[in-house]
Amino acid sequence: MLKSVVMHDIPIDYVAAMERWYYRDHAPEINRRFGPWLVRHDSYLPVDAPADARAYGWFNWRVTEGYWREMPNPGPQGNLAFTEPPIHPRVAASFFPAQPTEDLKGGQITPAQHPVLRWFTMLRYPAAVTAAEGEAWFLGQHARELTACAGAFRIFSTRRHAGPVPLPGEWAPGKGPPAANLSALWDRLTEIWFETFSDWRTFIKDAEAHCTAPTWATAPRYPYVVPGVDFISSFLLERPNDEFARDARGYL
């Protein structure tokens, strides 16, 4: 089973129009087309992050997770093209195993113990860095150092599914998202959980003081790659705003 992750960033002027499109057009089309393969279709509206948190490649609109029994064939396959949105968002997408590949901290904690502010991050190793080099740093050093940082009570991470997975959607000719808006093949999906943004600031301060930069770092401080280019993030709460595979709600 695979998990698809799609993070979106939009000019906030378009939030009303994009929410209408997502509820009225996009989510029902996804469900109708991919229901036999798609077990869960969950979507989160990010928390409005403070300015210092936005500096870490913040994506401001929906983060959607899909859990797939198996992947359908790409292309039209007897279906109509997707309805085009009012604008095409900036999109970061990748496929991961359905369960984390590394559970690093806090798995014994019960739901009643903490409110949850999820820092949902995706990391891509710079172009000159091989996957083996990136993973040697992440698993051999960085993961251990992250778990020692104060402020966070839960950390887990997932290595990208090997090889590209063709997205199964189909847009009308000339109507799909421009290539400049899309980024894929993110190497790591890591969640770090806090109770408050104050705890997040404590964590960042500790990470900057005690984590070790890799030899191939492209930025001088944590996360050691350029935010917004090779590191992006959103802040989510613990429950999805919408579970589209389960809820059948009309737009109005």
Instruction: Express each pLDDT in 141-194 by its tens digit.
Output: 999 999 999 999 999 999 999 877 876 678 998 888 999 999 998 999 999 999
pLDDT of residue 21: 96
**Residue 157, C-beta contacts closer than 8 angstroms, at least 6 positions apart:** 100, 101, 102, 104, 138, 143, 188, 189, 190, 191
Helix (H) or strand (E) holding 234: strand 231-236
pTM: 0.94
- Cβ atoms 124, 138 nearer than 8 A: no
Please give the share of the chain, as a percent, with pLDDT higher than 70.
97
pLDDT of residue 75: 86
Structure tokens at 157: 């991470």
pLDDT digits (tens, 9 = 90+) for 44-79: 999 999 999 999 999 999 999 999 999 998 888 888
Question: Rg (Cα) of the chain, in Å, rounded?
Answer: 18
156 vs 129: CA distance, rounded Å: 23
- Cβ atoms 41, 32 nearer than 8 A: no
Task: State the Cα torsion 50-228-129-91 to the nearest 10°.
Answer: 120
